[in-house]
Structure 1
Amino acid sequence: MSRPARLLLDRLPSPIGELLVVTDETGLLRAVDFHDYEHRLDRLLKIHYGPLRPEPGAVPAATRTALAAYFEGQTDALSALTWDTNGTDFQTAVWTALGSIPAGQTITYSELARRVGRPGSVRAAGAANGANPLSLVAPCHRVIGMNGALTGYGGGIDRKRWLLTHEGAL
């Protein structure tokens, strides 16, 4: 975890709503969310970066290209993006585990907890999943309920369904 000197916010189009993409002064990805959840993004940024607020700025070309490629059908394009957050060690472990779920596949919350070495911490893994500031890049939409239900997604269940269909998981 590193503390950035600046945060930059860019807005990019997507088929499921405008994306809010936050990078730092080096171009490292810090957060991705949807425009209609800007209040949540702001809350998460306050938790992770305190008073540091994002200012308008362009996303690096590689990030822009990877996001566009993902929506154009190259569903593994986001796995090449590097990111950093100021989450706890447990949260970072969960978000890293999310990145290891291949596009087109899903896992349960209990499997997520097992993958981070805490099989008895299903609720904690779910909470870390819900606090994920890296929507799409740390693909929390690939985590589903034990019965296969599309439970909880910060961008809304309709977007979760769209993303899983786009990736071939539904």
Structure 2
Amino acid sequence: MSTADFSTVETPIGPFTALVNAEGAVLAAGWTADAENLRQLIHPRLRPAELRERESLGSITTAVTDYHRGELSAIDTVPVSQHSGEFLLHAWEVLRKVPAGDPVTYTEFAAISGRPDATRAAANACARNAAALFVPCHRVLRIGGALGGFRWGLPVKRWLLDHEERAA
């Protein structure tokens, strides 16, 4: 029976919770205080049976706090563990390389993920990403700059994009 640790920290856009495995890799994260909801986003092969609340997750909590204060690169090296098919895993790796302050369109994201005709698959990679912030799906927009969707709400996505533009 596996257990994941979680911690919630206040940010300028509300509570942010991260769940980590025993190795310290982020399994799920988002702007919520509902750790159980985050647990359900984790692929069944990685989903922990139990959750254990911690006051802090050490360097991960520090990275979240630093990012929200303007140190955008603080999230870049936080380890993440997600499970899916080859394309989604690759797309999530690609998302981690999209620079803060320089968002891409879903079409551009599909192209840099190696499948230029797979815009819907690229959008699906964003929708199925459980490790928000650390896999920055908020950096993908519709053609023309429209926000598109975001699990944590469009006001959060707008704040993140504006924050990155100001701090970049």
- Could you say whether these structures have the same fold, taking a TM-score greater than 0.5 normalized by the shorter chain as the test? yes
> Is residue 140 of structure 2 the alignment partner of residue 147 of structure 1?
no
Quick one: which amino acid aligns to residue 90 of structure 1? Answer: F
Instruction: Select which of 6, 18, 24 maps to 2:3.
Output: 6
- Give the Cα separation in 1 of the matches to 2:22 and 2:88: 23
Q: What are the equivalent positions in structure 2 for 1:81-120 lying under 5 Å apart?
A: 81-120=78-117
Q: How many residues align?
A: 166
Shift of the 121–20 alpha-carbon distance from structure 1 to 2, 3 Å rule, reads same
State, as a whole percentage, how many aligned pairs show the same letter.
30
Q: Residues 21 and 59 of structure 1 are in contact (CA less than 8 Å); yes or no, is this contact kept in structure 2?
A: no
The farther-off stretch of 75-84 and 36-45 is: 36-45
Measure how far apart 1:34 and its partner are: 1.8
Unaligned runs of 5+ in 1: none
Shift of the 38–29 alpha-carbon distance from structure 1 to 2, 3 Å rule, reads closer
Helix, strand or coil at the partner of 2:14:
coil
Deviating 4+ runs (over 6 angstroms) = none
* TM norm structure 2: 0.88
Deviation string 1:115-146 (CA, Å, 9 cap, x unpaired) is: 11111111011011111111111111110001
Unaligned runs of 5+ in 2: none
Q: Residues 15 and 71 of structure 1 are in contact (CA less than 8 Å); yes or no, is this contact kept in structure 2?
A: yes
Aligned-residue Cα RMSD (Å) equals 2.1
The farther-off stretch of 86-95 and 15-24 is: 86-95
Q: Residues 40 and 47 of structure 2 are in contact (CA less than 8 Å); yes or no, is this contact kept in structure 1?
A: no
Q: Which residue of 2 aligns with 1:68?
A: 65
